[in-house]
Amino acid sequence: MAKECLTVKKTLLSLLTLAAIAFTSTVQAQTATAEKPHRIGVIDMAHVFQKYKKFETLRNSLQAEIDKSDAQAKQMVEVLQKMQADLKKYDAGSSEYEAAEARILSKKGEFDSFRATTQRRLARAESDMFKQIYADVSDAVEKYAQYKKFDHVMRFNRKGIDDTTTPQEAVQTMNKNFIYSNPANDITDPVLSYLNRKFASANGGTPARTVSGSK
């Protein structure tokens, strides 16, 4: 009977020891996880947009459309101005005057419709352009952040204050969320480099490497 009690005690002691070890391991793992700092990357979105070749290409294309519509509008205005000048040839109240005036009103209606339609079309094109560029940048940021193990990526302005800074720019700079950021956490350049290589590849240039290869 004494031997059996001793065996039971040893078994219980072993189980308690194993439970204590398991509990200690769990606590240590949880503590390590809790103490692991979050990695936060930063990116200058304004700089990326300005230097992204695709954005430059789309913006130039949009500007060409704007210039074309402006030229068309100018021609229509010139026609209206000529019609207004020709109206003076007729006596007010005459059938010729009323007919010419009706033509002017019709032409002005065409001009107003053209202007409104063009403004809506160009506004949609501009909105689509920014959506497309933002989607490209967001995708590249996500890929790079996952590769470099960043938990979060926040926007920031990398530009500082110098002798060329205007008062308005100085105020904007002083209102930045980040007063200091470790340059090692700035992912602006690798993301921009990847985007431009990818765009060049899509347009027959050098094939783009993966975003993880961006340096």
Q: What is d(CA 66, CA 76) in angstroms, rounded to the nearest whole number?
A: 15
Non-local CB neighbours of 122 within 8 Å, separated by 6+ positions: 62, 65, 66, 69
Q: How far apart are CA 155 and CA 188, in angstroms?
A: 10
Element (H, E) at 155: strand 152-155
The SS3 of residue 207 is coil
Tokens for 37?
């700092």
41 or 14, higher pLDDT: 41
| 160 Rama sector, left if φ>0, alpha if ψ -120 to 50, beta otherwise | beta
Of residues 25 and 64, the one with the higher pLDDT is 64
Each residue's pLDDT tens digit, 69-98? 999 999 999 999 999 999 888 888 899 999
What does the pLDDT look like over 150-159, one tens digit per residue? Answer: 999 999 888 7
Reference 210, options 149, 129, 130, 142; nearest CA is 142
Q: Does the pLDDT of residue 34 top 60, yes or no?
A: no
Contacts of 202 (CB under 8 A, 6+ apart): none
d(CA 31, CA 12): 28
pLDDT averaged over every residue in the chain: 82
Which residues does 185 contact at the CB level (< 8 Å), separation at least 6?
39, 40, 41, 42, 150
| Calpha distance 61→125 (Å, rounded) | 10
> What average pLDDT does range 152-180 have in this prediction?
76
Task: Please determine, for residue 8, whether its predicted confidence score (pLDDT) is greater than 50.
Answer: no
Cβ neighbours of 192 (radius 10 Å) = 22
The stretch 176-190 carries a mean pLDDT of 85
pLDDT digits (tens, 9 = 90+) for 191-202: 999 999 999 999
pTM of the model: 0.70
**55 vs 22: which has the higher pLDDT:** 55
| Percent of the chain residues topping a pLDDT of 90 | 59
pLDDT at 6: 47
Contact of 158 with 186, CB cutoff 8 Å: yes
Q: What is the C-alpha separation between 159 and 147, in angstroms, rounded?
A: 26
Residue 43 tokens read as 């990116």
pLDDT at 167 over 70: yes
- pLDDT level of residue 7 (50, 70, 90 thresholds): low
Percent of the chain with pLDDT over 70: 73
Per-residue model confidence (pLDDT) at position 153: 95
Core vs surface per residue 139-178: b (16+ CB within 10 A) or e: ebbebbbeebebeebeebbbeeeeeeeeeeeeeeeeeeee
**What's the pLDDT band for 203 if we cut at 50, 70, 90?**
confident
Express each pLDDT in 112-135 by its tens digit: 999 999 999 999 999 999 999 999
